[in-house]
Amino acid sequence: MPPSNHAPVMRNRKAWHDYHIEDTVEAGLVLVGCEVKSVRAGQVNLTGGFVLVEAGEAWLVDVYIAPYEQGSHFNVEPRRRRKLLLSRREIHRLEGRGRERGYTLVPLAVYFKRGFAKLEVGVARGKRAYDKREALQARESAREKEREMAAWRRK
């Protein structure tokens, strides 16, 4: 999760459902033109996106940032690749983890920190269908327990 004093503009809730998140890294996000205004407005879709490490650089691939409505000809392609700003050590660490069998690098959240766009990248391992069912069942039982406790407190 991003630091508590930085509320996420957009969170990839599907990633937490589909993957076991084992590690997270904060990366700067290179945006151009009116993309910053679209991100601030929450016009971002992280679902289906991933991080790719090529030639010593990290790239955010297949993330949709809607064109800014007042942007006219300054808008760029909504699904273009965007560069991530990471230290060389972080890039090598992510590259190594991303190449391991069964692991992928997924975007978890976009937020602003001191005016700069940041992306939380997770090192993730895919869940099996039964893992997803177990997680849903555990969440539902926790909700039910909370409801019972609330009803008991009201009495």
| Ranges 3-17, 21-35, 67-81, most confident | 21-35
Over residues 49-75, the pLDDT tens digits come to: 999 999 999 999 999 998 887 767 767
- pLDDT over 90 at 155, yes or no: no
Give the CATH number of domain 8-127; options: 3.30.310.220, 2.40.110.10, 2.40.280.10, 2.70.50.60.
2.40.280.10
| Higher local confidence (pLDDT), 115 or 3 | 115
pLDDT on residue 17: 84
User: What are the residue ranges spanned by the domains of the chain?
Assistant: 8-127
Strand partners, 103: 125
pTM: 0.77
What's the pLDDT tens digit per position in 137-153?
888 899 999 988 888 88
